[in-house]
Amino acid sequence: MPDYAMRRMFKIGVEYHMRRILATALLLLVTIPAYAQWITLKLAETPRRPDGTPNLAAAAPQSADGHVDLSGIWQLNGPAALRRTITPTERAGPVHLRWLLPDDQDIPFRPEGAALFKQRAEQLGKGSPSSRCLPHGVPDAMIFRPWKIVQNPRVTIILFEVFNHYRQIFTDGRALPKDDPQPTWFGYSVARWDQDTFVVETTGFNDKSWMDDAGLPHSERLQVTERFRRPDFGHLEVRVAIQDDRFYTRGWEVNIPLRLLPDTELIEDICENERDAQRMIGK
């Protein structure tokens, strides 16, 4: 069984609170045995080496309209994602967007944001939305488990393996809602192409989600700009710019490096009965 397919078993039989505690395992998904539906599937569009294995260094595919095709199943690129020195204590906690910042940068909290984050950390993440079968936030859903891009000319869809949630990113020329739209978990997204980069702007979030599994907060004033770039067949770079003047003193950015999971599919993941929340050990 190919190692990239074996990694897909991580979520099977592992309770949510254990996944939060073992954040190191989340970053080392590339080494954990796994399985999935259609495990032996060989997709025709996957470029291959002479021995038949996927060639992740091949050129990025092109869509019919001439743009780079971002379609595929992606996950955080393991230890390669880290841009700073992580202590053993930090490794024992949940995945934090701060880990994706260089050593000389940090999250520019306002006091209110720092206090809320500290409170969540002291509670060991108890009460997180996902422990109650509610969505992982943006960009948290992109760093937690695999997710899939389905690119079409007028709308690009992101399918999240976790809880079978999705985002719609519209490229049909519409503008972002301006008349106080109903706040949503994933916001309202429109996009455009800037040469080979897919630029997504999202607003209209509610304030219920967390931006990472460590409890990074945001308000309804959150604005996110994502820049997707696929340099080759097997890799995707997402530059995420965050603006939220309630919790942060200025805008800040993280770069999320992702790796393609070829020749496989997402696993259905349904959160039912909130059975994890009662086992969480925070206050």
What pLDDT digit, counting tens, does each position of 3-53 carry?
444 444 433 333 333 344 334 333 333 333 344 456 668 899 999 999 999
Domain-located, residue 104: yes
State pTM to two decimals: 0.83
pLDDT at 214: 87
Q: What is the pLDDT of residue 158?
A: 98
Q: What is the tens place of the pLDDT at every residue in 44-67?
A: 999 999 999 999 999 999 999 999
Whether 136 and 167 have beta carbons less than 8 Å apart is answered as: no
Domain membership of residue 147 (yes or no) is yes
Residue 51 located in a structural domain: no
Task: Determine contact, residues 278/72, Cβ cutoff 8 Å.
Answer: no
Instruction: Identify the segments of the chain with pLDDT beneath 70.
Output: 1-40, 79-81, 83, 90-93, 273-283
Which residues span the domain enclosing 166? 3-39+59-279
Does residue 49 lie within any of the structural domains? no
Radius of gyration of the chain (CA): 19
Q: How far is CA 199 from the centre of its chain?
A: 16
Within-domain flag for 211: yes
Within-domain flag for 44:
no
**pLDDT score, position 240:** 97
The three-state (H, E, C) secondary structure of the chain, written as one string: CCHHHHHHHCCCCCCHHHHHHCHHHHHCHHHCCCCCCCCCCCCCCCCECCCCCECCCCCCCECCCCCECCCEEEEECHHHHCCCCCCHHHHCCCCCHHHHCCCCCCCCECHHHHHHHHHHHHCCCCCCHHHHCCCCCCCHHHHHCCEEEEECCCEEEEEECHHHCEEEEECCCCCCCCCCCCCECCCEEEEEEECCEEEEEEECECCCCCCCCCCCCCCCCCEEEEEEEEEECCEEEEEEEEECCCCECCCEEEEEEEEECCCCCCCCCCCCCCCCHHHCCCC
Residue at 45 is within a domain: no
Res 233: pLDDT: 98
Predicted local confidence at residue 152, as pLDDT: 96
> Number of structural domains, the chain?
1
CA–CA dist 90, 98 (Å, integer): 11
Is 48 part of a structural domain of the chain? no
